[in-house]
Amino acid sequence: MTSGESPVAARARSAVAAHRGERGALLPILHDLQAEFGYVDPAVVPVLAEELNLSRAEVHGVISFYHDFRESPAPGTVVRVCRAEACQANGAEALMAHAERNLGDGVTVQQVFCLGNCALGPAVEVNGKLAGRVDAARLDALVASADPFERKVHTV
């Protein structure tokens, strides 16, 4: 950490050091930052650009393109519904529709295309906690019991 550097910028430099030799290091670095802080602080964009010899626009473009990255903390409870083929075959479309219609304020609903739980679909994550064989009633119960301040961020 250089003099006057924020802890987030220092952590970004540490993530770069851990992935510097990898091809396409930006994505793993962003996933590390997202996992640690729950979002990718816009203040790290110039740090990552400098460290990886990229333009700020390139770094920002990657962050804004992928739905897994947030630029601010997510409000309330975050529900991620898997919509991959195996989960679709087990009712994920209906579950996603239920989530979008019924979960209400304070709940952010996101679709993803694999949570790695194909045998137990439909799968969801509620604040980063994975659950399988979820129907509408179980999803409602998972959301009701979720602590919006306790979040384990899923990384791909």
Q: What are phi and psi of 107, to 5 degrees?
A: -120, 125
> What are the residue ranges of CATH 3.40.30.10 in the chain?
77-145
CATH match for 77-145 among 3.40.50.300, 3.90.79.10, 3.40.30.10, 1.20.950.20 = 3.40.30.10
Give the chain's count of helices (H) and strands (E).
Answer: 7, 4
The mean pLDDT values, 10 residues at a time, for the chain of 156 residues are 76 94 94 86 96 96 90 83 92 93 84 84 88 94 80 47
107 CB-side CA count, 13 A: 21
The reply to whether the predicted model has a pTM over 0.75 is no
